Structures are given as C-alpha cells and as structure tokens.
Copies of this chain bind each other. A is one copy, B any other.
C-alpha cells in the first residue's frame, strides 16, 4: 500500500522534512499549510524538490472553518478556497483536506453545510482538485465521521468525499465499524495516528500526544481493516502532532514512522511473517572499561569465570543459566565507565530474527569476526545497545559459547538465570522503543509507570514475551543516575543468598533504610527476616516478590529477584526507595 506522512509529523524546515521523509522510504506527503507558509521556496520549487526525492504530494491541508456559514462569511471563505486551489495547482497537489468548522460562525445546519461543500467541490473540480471533508473530534457541529459522511452524501458531488482520521474517530470512542457504510470511492483519504489513553481535553490530546500506530492504546489496525473493506485504495498516511517528535531528529522520526506502517501492514496481511519472539537471555555483555569492580561483584554473587574468548579480551562469567560477558577492550575515551553494551537473546532461528529486524528498519550491525568465531547477528536497539540473536547449545546451529573454551565448570549456585534487563532510553525515544521491541521482538508492552526520583520522574515500561523481559526506562531528571542500566538475576532462594552476601561481602548490597521496613510492616505485618536481610518486598494478587540490589559500578548495577507464585511485576512500589538510596550512594 502507498505510504504517506504529513509534514507536521517530523521536525525541521519543509525541505529538511521532505528529505527525511524520502530517506525513510515514504511514497508521498501531506503538505501542512504552516510548513508551506514559512518556506522560502515557491510552491513550484517545493513540487520539484518533492519530485526529485520521489515523493508525491498526496494532500494539501487544511482549509479550516469553511462550511455552514452565513452568506457574508462564505464570500471570504471562497476567497481563501480560490487561493488554496491556485496554490495546490502550483504545488501539484490534487486533494484538499477540509476539516469541520470550529468557529462560532458555523451554523447547526447540515443542508447548508452540504450546499456550501457542494459549491466548494464544484470550484475545486474546475482546478482538477477534489475535496476530502473530515470531522474534527472537536468540530463545532460536526464531530462524528458518520455525520461528515451524511453531509457528503447529501452534497452529492463527485469531487467531494470524506477524509477519515483514526485519532478523531477513536479518541471519541466512536465505533469504526460504521466506516463500512461508506463506499470506498467516497473515502478520499485515510489519516492514521495512535495515542496513549489519556483523560484530557481532546484538542490538547490531539495536538500534543498523538503517536505512531503501535505506540499508543488505539486499535488502529482494526480501523484500517474497516477502511480497506470499503474498497479504499488510497494511501495510509500518518498525521501525528507530538511535542517530542517536534524536538527529535527528523530522519529518526521518519524511520520510526515507516516502521509503524510496516508493522501495521504486516498485521493486516493474514500470511505475514510473525515476529520471532526470543525465548530468553543468552547473555548480557558489560564493558568493564578497565575496572575490576564488575568481576568483583559477579564473583561475590557466586559467578565464576568459566572461559575467555579465543581472540578477544572478553571473559565469560557463569552461574546456573546466567551468563555475563565482561569485555575489557580499551575505552574509546577517558570518561567511559562500566556499562551494559550488548544483550544476547535466545531465538529458535537467528537468521529469521535478524531478517525480520531488518525488515522493520532496525539497524543491522556489522560484525568484525575472527576466522573461527561463530556467526552472531546483531542489531542496534534504540538506546544503542547491541542485540545479538543466539541459539545456545543446539546442534543445529553454531554455538557462540564455543568461542569461549571452558576453563572451569559452570557453578550451580542460587542464581539460575537472567530474569530481566533494564535499559535507559534518551527521553525522546520512549515511544520509539516500545514500538521497536513490540515490532522487532514481538514483546508485549505493559502499562507505563511513573516513579518519583529525588530529582525528577522516571517513566518505566516493561515489555515481555516468550520468557524475555525487558524494562525500558526514561528519566526526566537532572540526576546522573538517570542513565543507569541493570541486569536482574533470577534467584532460587533469595533469603539464603542474601544471608550469605550480608555475612561475607559487607558493602556489596544497597542498604535499605529502616523507615522502609517500619512502613512495610505496617502494611503487610512483620517479617523480621526481611528487615534483617535488607530485602525489598512486593506482592500482588498472584504472588510475592523479593528483591535486592548491588552497589553500582559505572552505569551498571545488578538486581537479585525471587518470584514466588505468579507474581509478574518488577517491584515498582519499591523503585522510589531504591532511587533515593542510589542517589545517596553517589553523593
């Protein structure tokens, strides 16, 4: 299907926008009036520029506050329309978006609206232009898409049809099934946007919080199915007003936009290739940057260095099913510090995983491979972390662990594997990260949470599927800890492990304030061992959660978790305490 996007959806000047949109592979654009008015190029040159970039101008938008007005207002409105038609002829655009009138001049008169839109369509047709009428969710008298369709049907002019916009329809809670009442040839245009579920004024919601399909809470795919059922064969066009995208790199936003349409198209195709969902973690790779802190912590936790890479300064540390790579390659700059740089994900078919990631525009990373190394395909996650697709310990696929000849047996201790990994995104990329992990890895996003940090707020969203749990954090804070990442190990008996660690390794675990335990006991009753061992505790309807944290090395710390029963969370209730203690740790 033809893929378009409104110029308002990405940042920059009009020419920068067109370049970014073309680079992401779009077929066409909707030119937004404000972008054109502020552009120093005449419309003819904008047309040539778009043409050179392989972009069609699929729509010009919007003409506002046109219909259902008294005669004296109509005169001025027709002057605006004539200007717009001439402009569109210069621009080479043949579809005009007319959105339902929001002005106090508008009359609640559908017959008048139909008559004036018919007049507009007649004039438009004289310029080879067609008019797509859209119900804005906050239109003064026309705010429902079926109402707009009733007016268009009454007007009955071949150059007049409707424009459907998923935001305007779904934000009002309208049922999109009614779309199938509209003949496909009367659906002149389809605009798509998703949005998080927010209880706020719909105009503000629309202007600031729209996002790309798959990033929010609307069933955009379901809506598109209804539109396609009408026989609509025009573009899928994204129209997203978003405060964050306005401040982000246009090329990155445009790629993200294209990814959302590829995923949407795939969801519409019954025989589309489903994502290859990883079944768990093969490893977490940490750059040590010359510090022995990380190996010290791992060793204390019961890990052993079981192997060293044949050709690279990388050590394999293991315990149970948990594997950590410590990479001692020299830091590129002096202020580098220990950090999580890569994650290995177990997948039944690494080649299919990387192919799918590439299809969804994930950057596939080049690999410098020594002659005997096992092939390992990797992509870059939105925060720059490398994601490797692995198939560990299966005869049908080369095993990456073969590059780490084992010098020692794998210790079987309390740690059984990696429970989850928490990554910190730059704040602009929260929505992008959700879509990325959902589309590329098939993980299901959970509700995003907000946690108070002493110096700001942390927004956090867990994504899980097939045994893999990732937590994506962003921080709106001035504190340095905003960039922390962590690896959480699953532990069989955390009380036992904590007892041993408190005894043998004082200073290894994050100290938890006594006030926390007073409060915890008030809520859940006393469990003196939890206080004595300095554990954190949470519960939900399904079970209980014990966890604790190590001190931080560079940007990285470790969490130890024990899930009891069907507890499926991450101890979010304790995050504010953890953040406060971590701050004190550094100051």
Q: Give A contacts to B, CB under 8 Å.
A: 11-13, 16, 33-34, 36-43, 79-80, 82-84, 87, 198-201, 204, 243, 246-247, 452-457, 476-478, 511, 513-516, 518-519, 521-523, 525, 576-577, 579-581, 583-584
Contact = CB atoms under 8 A, between A and B. Distances in A.
A423 to B, nearest CB: 21
A581 B478 contact: no
Given A13-B454, A38-B576, A42-B514, 18 more contacts: A11-B456, A34-B452, A37-B519, A37-B577, A38-B513, A38-B579, A40-B511, A43-B515, A82-B522, A83-B518, A83-B519, A198-B200, A199-B204, A243-B476, A246-B455, A246-B456, A247-B455, A247-B456
B515 A13 contact: no
Query: Which of A34, A38, A204, A577 is most buried by chain B, counting CB atoms within 10 A of its CB?
Result: A38
Contacts of A477: 246-247
22 contacts: A13-B580, A13-B584, A16-B454, A36-B515, A37-B519, A37-B577, A38-B454, A38-B577, A39-B580, A40-B511, A40-B581, A42-B514, A43-B515, A199-B201, A200-B200, A200-B201, A243-B456, A246-B455, A246-B457, A246-B477, A247-B456, A247-B477
Given A80-B523, A584-B40, A246 B452 contact: yes
B201 A198 contact: yes
Nearest to A80: B522
A230 B129 CA distance: 69
A226 to B, nearest CB: 29
A349 to B, nearest CB: 40
B12 A454 contact: yes
Given A13-B454, A477-B247, A515 B199 contact: no
Contacts of A204: 198-200
Contact of A37 (B34, B43, B515, B525): B515
Contacts of A11: 454-456
A16 B243 CA distance: 32
